[in-house]
A and B are shown apart, each in its own frame.
Chain A
Amino acid sequence: AAAGLYPCRTLLAHRAGALRALCGSVRGLAVGPDTHFGFQTVTEAERREKIYQVFESVAKKYDIMNDSMTLGIHRVWKDILVHKMNPSPGTLLLDVAGGTGDIAFRFINYVRSVRERQLQRKLKHHQSLTWQEISESYQEDKSKSLGDSQVVVCDINKEMLKVGKQKAQYLGYSEGLSWVLGNAEELPFDDDKFDVYTIAFGIRNVTRIDLALEEAYRVLKPGGRFLCLEFSHVSNPLLSRLYDLYSFQVIPVLGEVIAGDWKSYQYLVESIRRFPPQEELKAMIEDAGFFKVDYQNINSGIVAIHSGFKL
Chain B
Amino acid sequence: VRCQLSLPQRALQASAVLRRVSDEQKEPLSSSSQQQFDSHPTDQQPDKEPQGPRPSYTGQGGQESEDYESEEQLQHRILTAALEFVPEHGWTAEAIAEGAKTLGLSGAAAGMFHSDGSELILHFVSQCNAKLSELLEQEQKRVQLGEAEKKPTDQFLKDAVEARLRMLIPYIDKWPQAVSILLLPHNIPSSLNLLTSMIDEIWHYAGDQSTDFNWYTRRAVLTGIYNTTELVMMQDSSPDFEDTWRFLENRVADAMNMGNTANQVQSTGEAVVQGLMGAAVTVSNAETSSAVR
Contacts of A87 in B (CB 8 A): 108
Cβ 8 A contact of B12, one of A286, A291, A293: A291
Stretch of A171-179, A220-228, A296-304 contacting B (4+ beta carbons < 8 Å): A220-228
User: Could you tell me if A225 and B108 are in contact, using CB atoms closer than 8 angstroms?
Assistant: yes
Contact string against A for B residues 100-128, beta-carbon threshold 8 Å, 1 for contact and 0 otherwise: 10011111111110010000000000000
User: Could you tell me if B54 and A289 are in contact, using CB atoms closer than 8 angstroms?
Assistant: yes
User: Could you tell me if A292 and B112 are in contact, using CB atoms closer than 8 angstroms?
Assistant: yes
Interface residues of A (CB under 8 A from B): 84-88, 90-91, 195-196, 220-225, 286-287, 289, 291-293, 307, 309-311
User: What separation, in Å, do the CA atoms of A286 and B94 have in the docked complex?
Assistant: 27
User: What separation, in Å, do the CA atoms of A223 and B13 have in the docked complex?
Assistant: 9
Chain B residues with a Cβ closer than 8 Å to the other chain, count: 24
In the complex, the chain B residue whose C-beta lies closest to that of A287 is B56
The main secondary structure of chain B at its interface with chain A is: helix
In the complex, the chain A residue whose C-beta lies closest to that of B98 is A88
Q: List 15 A-B contacts (CB under 8 A).
A: A88-B94, A88-B97, A195-B106, A195-B107, A195-B108, A221-B105, A222-B13, A222-B14, A222-B104, A222-B106, A223-B104, A224-B108, A224-B109, A292-B71, A311-B109
In the complex, the chain B residue whose C-beta lies closest to that of A222 is B13
Contacts of A91 in B (CB 8 A): 107-108
Asked if A222 meets B105 with Cβ closer than 8 Å, knowing A88-B94, A289-B54, A311-B13, the reply is: yes
Contacts of A85 in B (CB 8 A): 108, 111
Residue of B13, B94, B100, B111 contacting most chain A CB atoms (<10 Å): B111
User: What separation, in Å, do the CA atoms of A91 and B111 have in the docked complex?
Assistant: 12
Contacts of B110 in A (CB 8 A): 86, 88
Contacts of A223 in B (CB 8 A): 13, 100, 103-109
Cβ distance B289 to chain A, nearest Cβ, rounded Å: 87
Contact string against A for B residues 193-230, beta-carbon threshold 8 Å, 1 for contact and 0 otherwise: 00000000000000000000000000000000000000
Residue B161 lies at the interface, judged by CB distance under 8 Å to chain A: no
Residue B17 lies at the interface, judged by CB distance under 8 Å to chain A: yes
Residue B74 lies at the interface, judged by CB distance under 8 Å to chain A: yes
User: What separation, in Å, do the CA atoms of A248 and B13 have in the docked complex?
Assistant: 46
Contacts of B105 in A (CB 8 A): 221-223, 311
Cβ distance B245 to chain A, nearest Cβ, rounded Å: 29
Residue B31 lies at the interface, judged by CB distance under 8 Å to chain A: no
Residue of B71, B104, B105 contacting most chain A CB atoms (<10 Å): B105
User: Could you tell me if A311 and B111 are in contact, using CB atoms closer than 8 angstroms?
Assistant: no
Asked if A222 meets B17 with Cβ closer than 8 Å, knowing A85-B111, A195-B107, the reply is: yes
Asked if A286 meets B60 with Cβ closer than 8 Å, knowing A88-B94, A221-B106, A222-B14, the reply is: yes
Interface residues of B (CB under 8 A from A): 12-14, 17, 54, 56, 60, 71, 74, 93-94, 97, 100, 103-112, 115
Contacts of B94 in A (CB 8 A): 88
Contacts of B93 in A (CB 8 A): 86, 88
User: Could you tell me if B97 and A311 are in contact, using CB atoms closer than 8 angstroms?
Assistant: no
User: Could you tell me if A196 and B108 are in contact, using CB atoms closer than 8 angstroms?
Assistant: yes
Extra 12 A-B pairs, beta carbons < 8 Å, given A195-B108, A222-B13, A291-B60: A86-B110, A88-B94, A91-B108, A195-B106, A195-B107, A222-B104, A223-B13, A289-B54, A309-B108, A309-B109, A309-B112, A310-B13
Contacts of B97 in A (CB 8 A): 88
User: What separation, in Å, do the CA atoms of A286 and B54 have in the docked complex?
Assistant: 12
The 8 closest A-B pairs by CB, nearest first: A223-B105, A223-B109, A223-B106, A222-B13, A225-B108, A221-B106, A195-B106, A195-B108
Contacts of A84 in B (CB 8 A): 111
Contacts of A286 in B (CB 8 A): 60
Cβ distance A118 to chain B, nearest Cβ, rounded Å: 8
Residue of B97, B108, B110 contacting most chain A CB atoms (<10 Å): B108
User: What separation, in Å, do the CA atoms of A178 and B194 have in the docked complex?
Assistant: 48
Cβ distance A149 to chain B, nearest Cβ, rounded Å: 11
Cβ distance A87 to chain B, nearest Cβ, rounded Å: 8
User: Could you tell me if B109 and A225 are in contact, using CB atoms closer than 8 angstroms?
Assistant: yes
Asked if A311 meets B107 with Cβ closer than 8 Å, knowing A88-B97, A223-B100, A292-B112, the reply is: no
User: Could you tell me if B107 and A309 are in contact, using CB atoms closer than 8 angstroms?
Assistant: no
Cβ distance B89 to chain A, nearest Cβ, rounded Å: 9
User: What separation, in Å, do the CA atoms of A307 and B74 have in the docked complex?
Assistant: 18
User: What separation, in Å, do the CA atoms of A91 and B110 have in the docked complex?
Assistant: 12
User: Could you tell me if A311 and B12 are in contact, using CB atoms closer than 8 angstroms?
Assistant: yes
Cβ distance B116 to chain A, nearest Cβ, rounded Å: 11
In the complex, the chain B residue whose C-beta lies closest to that of A125 is B88
Cβ distance B24 to chain A, nearest Cβ, rounded Å: 17
Cβ distance A270 to chain B, nearest Cβ, rounded Å: 32
User: Could you tell me if B111 and A225 are in contact, using CB atoms closer than 8 angstroms?
Assistant: yes
Contacts of B60 in A (CB 8 A): 286, 291, 293
User: What separation, in Å, do the CA atoms of A311 and B70 have in the docked complex?
Assistant: 10
User: What separation, in Å, do the CA atoms of A84 and B109 have in the docked complex?
Assistant: 12
In the complex, the chain B residue whose C-beta lies closest to that of A197 is B108
Cβ distance B75 to chain A, nearest Cβ, rounded Å: 9
Contacts of A311 in B (CB 8 A): 12-13, 71, 74, 105, 109
User: What separation, in Å, do the CA atoms of A85 and B93 have in the docked complex?
Assistant: 11
